[in-house]
Amino acid sequence: MLFYILTFVGLSLAESGKTTRYWDCCKGSCGWEKKANVDKPIDTCAKDGTTRVASNDTVKSGCDGGEGYMCYDQTPWSVNDSYSYGFAAAACCGGESGACCGCYDLTFTSGPVNGKHMIVQITNTGGDLGSNQFDLAIPGGGVGIYNGCTAQSGAPSDGWGSRYGGVSSRSECSQLPSGLQAGCQWRFDWFQNADNPNINFSSVRCPAEIIAKTNCNRV
């Protein structure tokens, strides 16, 4: 159901949707050229998760035998008790051309995070996602269909924890590379281990703090 809400950037039309979680370590689909009207594709990282590599069609994904992986700093973090920033794969907003590098304010409407907000930038898509589904990029959230985490970090064949769902406790975050542990712990702290909560979402201007981690702006 559509309804109007007032966001910090003005009156915006919101829609309902749902969330899931994943972290497959693969180069994001918004890291390829000409996917959308952006100044440049999202940053892609080398095997160490921090060194930026060329974000273009010459760098293959680590999930396809290449050298491009998700960056360790493209993980969620809390701004305060009621707001967080992060990244997501999504099936919404006009497909890749309309979604890549766009930011959305997610208002959670179910579970322990009911009423909390999260602004995410879309960095990926997914053929297995349903309409208006945001797959939150949370380290240790499950590798899903693809698993680049074994090639990148020596993770088990199904990733850390279950292939779909990931680790089941905060203590298991210690299994992940040190650069991903804070993002994994976020799920059990700010996110209160919510299991695929529903949302209302609306388009917003990307905060500078998010852009600083992807270097991708829509133009």
Which residues are the active-site residues?
Answer: 24
Strands 83-91 and 133-137 turn out to be antiparallel
CB atoms within 10 A of CB 186: 20
Residue bearing tokens 């290449």: 66
The CA distance from 13 to 192, in Å, is 28
Closest to 57 in 3D by CA, of 38, 37, 39, 30: 30
The CA distance from 106 to 161, in Å, is 26
The CA distance from 161 to 173, in Å, is 10
